[in-house]
Structure 1
Amino acid sequence: MRWRELGSPEARAVLLIQDELLSALRDYLRERGFVEVIPPVIGPTTDPGLRGAGRFTLSYYGMRFYLMSSIILYKQALVRSVPAIFAVAPSVREEPPETALTGRHLTEFRQVDVERAGATLGEAMSLAEGLVVGSALRVVRERGEELKLLGREPEIPRLPLPRLDYWEAVDLARGLGAPVRPGEELTWEAERLISREVGACFVVGYPEGARGFYYRRDPARPGRLLDFDLLLPEGYGEVASGGERATDPAEVEERMRRSGEDPEEYSWYLEMLREGVPPSAG
């Protein structure tokens, strides 16, 4: 039974590493002016872009609400008040059976959500790589014995991490034998093979149809977005996604319809965009 495992030295090591990692993440962001906020756990909308996972719904006062799968839409609202925010946010997703043994999917987990008003794609990427690498270095320094107990002596990459254009990543994945449909998100297998070949790296500039309606279009490259995925080394794949946010309500509504989403479900979000939100990235 799982509760018995919590008495093992390995479980203790995991909890101590987790504590150190959370402290490192918070310290890194606070030192750079970010304010921690408490996000909603249930809401009328949540991120629809879950790569095949479903959203848990509940009926409350006769209305449909969701358990939060991502607070990405709410971050744009929060930076209207505080220009640099982060949250250690709960994420609950109805993962399909085929993800049970991938080693990278959980029904419930916590993710660090970050948003900064006025930030660019490049600034968001620099923050993401600094946050991940800086926090990993601290865990290695402070919890080296626990890592050894778990059989881990990680090599921490130097910054800046390599940047792969989306189409460059597609060509690389195909060359490594991964099935990839051009114009769609990279498959889990493609991410695994790329991160084994290249190590930790960014994939930048996904096609518009591959991502959510909340990413800003790249004005210099029609059909492309100002967004990224950050891949971990050793085949672990995507650990973070981000980019600049779309702020034009007409464009966002059009992209919602094109992707099969009902704009009525996001009425509060569209109303907020009509009133005005600051440009932001996270």
Structure 2
Amino acid sequence: MSTKSVIRDVNQHVGETVTIGSWINNKRSSGKIQFLQLRDGTGYIQGVIVKSEVSEQVWDDAKSLTQESSLYVTGVIREEPRSASGYEMTVTGIEVIHITENYPITPKEHGVDFLMDHRHLWLRSNKQRAILVIRAEIIRSVRQFFDTNGFTLVDPPILTPTSAEGTTNLFHTKYFDEDAYLTQSGQLYMEAAAMALGKVYSFGPTFRAEKSKTRRHLIEFWMIEPEMAFTDHEESLRVQENFISHVVQSVLKNCRTELETVGRDISKLEQIQAPFPRITYDDAIEFLHEKGFDIPWGDDFGAPHETAIAESYDKPVFITHYPAGIKAFYMKPDPNRPEVVLCADMIAPEGYGEIIGGSQRIDDQALLEERFKEHGLSLDTYQWYMDLRQYGSVPHSGFGLGLERTVAWICGLDHVRETIAFPRTLYRLYP
């Protein structure tokens, strides 16, 4: 009798006979021995079939197997130091489930467009599987950090009547007889939740109808957005750096094999420990001028600027105190210098750009009303948001982390399209 198992757990069954539901990742033969490279979603293991030790039926069934054919394979687990997993299976039986013919993604090179058209199959490859495992670990560690540090998970709406940041880059839809939009941020709603629960966070999909084709942008992406009552800008920065340190160290601890599969330089991740360096926007402008960039004070930074700044650090770096004119209406001005706001962007090293944007929020009702007028926003539309300043207003801060950019950085990927199972980009809605 065999025990049903998965490849991830074969270390618990050394010397035992187990049955594993699997697919053929690859195979080769050396005459009287066949080597099956098996995968089951939890890992990979090699199955070895010796012709003289199995029935003719088992041997022939093994010969009929093609790439991505499915089967139940039975055999004895043994330690094998030369194997990547440290284990191997001596196959004694095979039950063929399905023989695959003409699998489109072969071991040869394929173009990106071809692979994206076959994304539903490309996910099965070693690297793509590893990326999704790392993404899942990042999500787990995100929730663990906030759940164990006094935050309450709150789900903001996906359909909203207004924009969070006053932009027109929104997906419009009809909400019965009203106009509605797919959310680009849950932040304003999280501010309301923080006034009820103290420290909160959301974790959900967001949508931006920006016609951007850069390697850092997706149309549909996931955001983690904490908001904290009775918290100033400096306190928020400490939360952010501890948060990122926790996530990176969790991935290093639990996904080292997957990081190696994607070819990540692990030594660079091992340096990601709080505290992180900080520079002001003024310092950044001066630095960029020294590097030959022609950028005036008051302009926002683009990818080349962020990359140049990040190259000076081996950790994420905070750029703080941006000009008020290039930041969102809700950011609190620096009391000592009102033309800049109490905000920060966290720039990841190695050219991955901004992964966190955050600020202390305006808590003064009169000042917020003034900002509404400056940005041409309707007070009627945002009356509920204004109520937060009218009824028990307190200092509060928050930030947002883009999950896909974070996955790209931690995995060392060239493009965010590989960071989510089915990416939505400017020209791709299929599959």
Q: What is the TM-score of this pair, normalised by structure 2?
A: 0.61
The equivalent residue for 1:63 is 178
Residue aligned with 1:170, SS? helix
Q: 1:268 to 1:8 in 2, by over 3 A?
A: same
Query: Higher helix fraction: Structure 1 or Structure 2?
Result: 1
| 2:161 pairs with 1:44 | yes
1:3-29 C-alpha deviation (Å, 9 max, x unpaired): 121111111111110111111111111
Aligned counterpart in structure 2 of residue 224 of structure 1, from 340, 357, 366: 340
Q: 1:151 to 1:261 in 2, by over 3 A?
A: same
Q: Distance in 1 between matches of 2:311 and 2:194?
A: 36
| Contact in 2 for aligned 1:77/1:277 (Cα 8 Å) | no
- 1:125-140 alignment to 2 at 5 Å? 125-140=237-252
Aligned counterpart in structure 2 of residue 241 of structure 1, from 357, 368, 374: 357
Q: Distance in 2 between matches of 1:64 and 1:177?
A: 47
| 2:292 pairs with 1:177 | yes
CA positional deviation for 1:158: 3.2
- What 5-or-longer segments of structure 2 have no aligned partner? 1-116, 399-431
| 2:236 pairs with 1:124 | yes
Q: Distance in 2 between matches of 1:105 and 1:216?
A: 27
1:103-162 C-alpha deviation (Å, 9 max, x unpaired): 211111111111111011111111111111211111011101111111102413332111
| Contact in 1 for aligned 2:201/2:227 (Cα 8 Å) | yes
Residue aligned with 1:116, SS? strand
Q: Distance in 1 between matches of 2:204 and 2:290?
A: 37
Residue aligned with 1:90, SS? strand
Aligned counterpart in structure 2 of residue 6 of structure 1, from 123, 128, 133: 123
The equivalent residue for 2:274 is 159
CA positional deviation for 1:49: 5.8
Q: Distance in 1 between matches of 2:337 and 2:393?
A: 24
CA positional deviation for 1:179: 4.2
Q: 1:161 to 1:75 in 2, by over 3 A?
A: same
Q: Distance in 2 between matches of 1:245 and 1:148?
A: 41
Q: 1:264 to 1:281 in 2, by over 3 A?
A: same
Q: 1:237 to 1:179 in 2, by over 3 A?
A: farther
Q: Distance in 1 between matches of 2:215 and 2:289?
A: 22
CA positional deviation for 1:174: 2.7
Residue aligned with 1:197, SS? coil
Q: Distance in 1 between matches of 2:126 and 2:120?
A: 13
CA positional deviation for 1:275: 3.0
Q: Distance in 2 between matches of 1:49 and 1:175?
A: 34
The equivalent residue for 2:427 is none
Aligned counterpart in structure 2 of residue 19 of structure 1, from 136, 139, 154: 136
| Contact in 1 for aligned 2:331/2:342 (Cα 8 Å) | yes
| Contact in 2 for aligned 1:46/1:71 (Cα 8 Å) | no
Q: 1:190 to 1:49 in 2, by over 3 A?
A: farther
1:26-53 C-alpha deviation (Å, 9 max, x unpaired): 1111221111111211111232266xx7
Q: Distance in 1 between matches of 2:149 and 2:351?
A: 30
Single out whichever of 255-264 and 13-22 deviates more from structure 2. Answer: 255-264
The equivalent residue for 1:146 is 258
The equivalent residue for 2:192 is 77
| Contact in 1 for aligned 2:190/2:202 (Cα 8 Å) | no
Q: Distance in 2 between matches of 1:47 and 1:112?
A: 15
Q: Distance in 2 between matches of 1:264 and 1:56?
A: 22
Aligned counterpart in structure 2 of residue 35 of structure 1, from 149, 152, 155: 152
Query: Higher strand fraction: Structure 1 or Structure 2?
Result: 2
Aligned counterpart in structure 1 of residue 391 of structure 2, from 275, 278, 281: 275
- What 5-or-longer segments of structure 1 have no aligned partner? none
Q: Distance in 2 between matches of 1:213 and 1:113?
A: 17
> Radius of gyration: which is bigger?
2
CA RMSD across the alignment: 1.7
Single out whichever of 154-163 and 125-134 deviates more from structure 2. Answer: 154-163
Q: Which residue identity is paired with 1:36?
A: L
Residue aligned with 1:77, SS? helix
The equivalent residue for 2:36 is none
Single out whichever of 157-166 and 41-50 deviates more from structure 2. Answer: 41-50
Q: Distance in 2 between matches of 1:38 and 1:263?
A: 24
The equivalent residue for 1:111 is 223
Residue aligned with 2:341, SS? coil
Single out whichever of 228-237 and 190-199 deviates more from structure 2. Answer: 190-199
Q: 1:250 to 1:36 in 2, by over 3 A?
A: same
Aligned residues: 277
| 2:330 pairs with 1:214 | yes
Q: Distance in 1 between matches of 2:208 and 2:304?
A: 21
